[in-house]
Structure 1
Amino acid sequence: MSGVGVVALAAFLAACTTGSVLSLQPAVDVGSSTASVPRIAEPLPRGAALEDAQSPAFEAPTVQSPDVFSPEMQADVSAEVQTAAMVRPRQGTGLQTLVPKDPYLAGYPRMDPPAAPGSYLPADEVDCRKQLKRLKVEFSDLAPIRDGQCGIDHPVKVSAIGSVKMKPAATLTCAMALTFSQWTKNELVPSARRRYFTGVRTINQGSSYSCRKIAGSRTLSEHGKGNALDIMSIELNNGKDIDVKKPGFFAFRQKGLLNTVRADGCQYFNTVLGPGYNYDHRNHFHFDIKDRRRVACH
C-alpha cells in the first residue's frame, strides 16, 4: 500500500474512534465524569436531609454499574442502604451516596402511628360532650371502666351543672349525664325558684356508677352500667336542705317541690323511683335511662 493510502486509512480510523473530525467532538466523554468513574457531586454537610438534596442546586451523583464495583465498594453500598436518608462520604474514596432508608417510601409523607385502641370517641359521644358544654356542665373524661359484667366504655365524671354543684362528683355515661343535666336545668332549678324564691346550690347524690345487681334479683342494676343516679337531698342557695325522704305532714312547700320534680322527671328518664315505691327507695330518688318499652314512674 502506498504512503498516501496508509495516511488516509489512519485518518479514517481516528474519525471512527474519537468522534467527528469536523466537529472535533470525542466519541466518549473525557471530562470530569466517564463511564467507568462516577461524577462527584458538590459535597453536602454531614447529616444533610433528603429534602436538601432534592433542591434545584443539588446535582445527584452518577451511580456506577454493578459490574465495575469492587467487593469493598459493594459492601459500602449495602451498609449505606441500612442508614437513614442522608448523604455520607465513603471511607477512603471521597465518594458520596444518596440512599433513603426505605426507597419505596421516600416520596411519601411521614405517617404517625395509629392511635391506641379506646383513645378515640364515637361521633355520638363527641356530640354528647358538646351538648354538655353548651349546658355549662363541668365534667372530665375517664378511662374506660371494665369490671366483669359492669363497666362504661366512655365514662364522664360530673362535678357541677352550671352553678349547681354535684357532691360527690358522679361517674356516669355521657347520655345519663346529659339527661340529668337537662332535668336539673329545665325542671329542678325553676321549681325551686317558684316555691322558695332561690336557686339550687348543691345536689347530694348517694350512688352513680356502682357494680351491683338489683336488690333481690340476678339482674344487673343500671348503676353497673353508669346509667343511673340516686338523689338523696337538695341544698338551696338560702341554706335550706331539702331531704328527699318523705317530709312531714305540714311540710307543704317541700312536698310540693319533691312531687313536682319527681313527676317532671318522668319526661326525661325511663325509670323514676322514690319514697312510697318500696322500702329500698324510702330516702332517695332513683333516676335511670334503661331502654324500656314503657316508662316506669313510681
Structure 2
Amino acid sequence: MRILASPTLRRACVAGLLAALATACSTESVMSLRPDVDVGTRTAGVPAAIPITPVPADPIVSVPTDETAQTPADPSPAPADPSLTAYPHFEMPAEPVEVMPSDEVACRRDLKRLGVEFRDLDPIHEGGCGIDWPVQVSAIGSVEMKPAATLSCAMAATFSRWTRKELVPAARWRYLSGVKAIHQGSSYSCRNIRGSRGTPSQHSRGNALDVMRIELNNGRDIDVRKPGWFAFRQRGFLNTVRQDGCDYFTTVLGPGYNADHADHFHFDIMQRRNGYVACR
C-alpha cells in the first residue's frame, strides 16, 4: 500500500491506463460496432422523403410595438403644399373700388324721376377725351332716343328736362301730337371744335348732343334743316325749340349759324364765364 501511494508509481499507473483506453477506442474498434446495413441510394432505416407542397407564407403585417405605436392620424386632409404650413398666409390686397361721387348719385336719381331709361357705362378715357361716369340714354319717358346717346349724367338730365317740359308740349301745341323719337347725330365723340386750334369740343366730354330730326306720333318727321318759306308751322316749331333751349343749355346752335350746323341743332352745357349763353 505504501508503494502504490508513491507519486511515481501513481503517475505510471495513470499513463498505462490512458494508453489502454486509447487502444480500445480506436477508429477501427468503433466502426466494428456498427450494424450491418445495405447502403444504397438512400440511407437504410430512413424512410423515403415525402414530397411536400410549399404553403405560401402569410403576408407580413407590421404590428407596432408599444414604443412605435402612434396615435391615429388627424382625419383632416393635409395641405396640398406642406411648405405653406411653415409660413403665414398673406392674401393679395384687392384693388380699391372707386366710389361714385354724391353728385353723380343724385343725378341718377334725377334721371329716374324724369322717367329716363338709361344704363351706366364704364369710364371712358381716351387721350384728352372722356367721361368719368357716363350714361347711355335710350328713352326719355315715351320718347325714344335713336340711336342711344352716350352722355355725361349732367347733360342727360338737362336734355331730358328740356324734352319733357319744352319739346313735347311744343309739338302738342303745333301739331296736336306727341313726340315718338328724337334722332340724334352725335353724342360723345372725341374731337376738337372744327376750325379751332386744338380746342376740345364739348362732345369730347359727353356734354353735347346734336339733334337731326324729330319724329312725331302722327307720323310726321320734322327735319331740323331750315324749312322753306311757306312752311310756317314747321318754322314756328323750330324757332320755339331753339329759343326754349336757351333756358336750359349754355349753347344752342342751329341752321343759319354756320355751315357746320346747317342740318342740326347743337345743344351743350359748356361752363362759360359770367353765365354767358350762346343762343344762335
TM-score range normalised by the length of the shorter chain: 0.5 to 0.7
Counterpart in the other structure of 1:295: 277
Measured in 2, the distance between the counterparts of 1:238 and 1:284 equals: 22
Counterpart in the other structure of 2:152: 173
Measured in 2, the distance between the counterparts of 1:292 and 1:216 equals: 20
Measured in 2, the distance between the counterparts of 1:164 and 1:215 equals: 31
For the pair 1:268 / 2:256, whether they are aligned, the reply is no
Question: Which among 162, 167, 181 is matched to residue 188 of structure 1?
Answer: 167
TM-score (norm 1): 0.63
For the pair 1:149 / 2:128, whether they are aligned, the reply is yes
Counterpart in the other structure of 1:236: 216
Higher relative contact order (CA 8 A, sep 6+): 2
Moved over 4 A (4+): 44-47, 79-83
Kindly report which structure 2 residues correspond to 1:64-213, keeping only aligned pairs within 5 A, or say none. Answer: 113=94, 115-116=96-97, 119-213=98-192
TM-score (norm 2): 0.66
Measured in 2, the distance between the counterparts of 1:243 and 1:217 equals: 28
Q: SS in structure 1 opposite 2:166?
A: helix
What amino acid sits opposite 1:228 in the alignment?
A
Gapped runs of 5+ residues in structure 1? 1-43, 48-78, 84-100, 103-111
Measured in 2, the distance between the counterparts of 1:120 and 1:234 equals: 37
Measured in 1, the distance between the counterparts of 2:85 and 2:134 equals: 51
Measured in 1, the distance between the counterparts of 2:189 and 2:87 equals: 55
Please report how far the alpha carbon of residue 147 of structure 1 lies from its aligned counterpart in structure 2 after TM superposition.
1.0
Q: SS in structure 2 opposite 1:286?
A: strand
Matched residue count: 201
For the pair 1:227 / 2:207, whether they are aligned, the reply is yes
Gapped runs of 5+ residues in structure 2? 1-73, 78-83
RMSD (CA atoms): 2.4
Counterpart in the other structure of 1:245: 225
Please report how far the alpha carbon of residue 224 of structure 1 lies from its aligned counterpart in structure 2 after TM superposition.
0.7
For the pair 1:283 / 2:259, whether they are aligned, the reply is no
Measured in 1, the distance between the counterparts of 2:75 and 2:177 equals: 74
What amino acid sits opposite 1:163 in the alignment?
S
Counterpart in the other structure of 1:23: none
Please report how far the alpha carbon of residue 81 of structure 1 lies from its aligned counterpart in structure 2 after TM superposition.
7.8
Please report how far the alpha carbon of residue 260 of structure 1 lies from its aligned counterpart in structure 2 after TM superposition.
0.4
Please report how far the alpha carbon of residue 253 of structure 1 lies from its aligned counterpart in structure 2 after TM superposition.
1.1
Deviations 1:15-61 (A, max 9, x none): xxxxxxxxxxxxxxxxxxxxxxxxxxxxx9959xxxxxxxxxxxxxx
Deviations 1:193-252 (A, max 9, x none): 011111000000000011111111121110111100000000000010000000111111
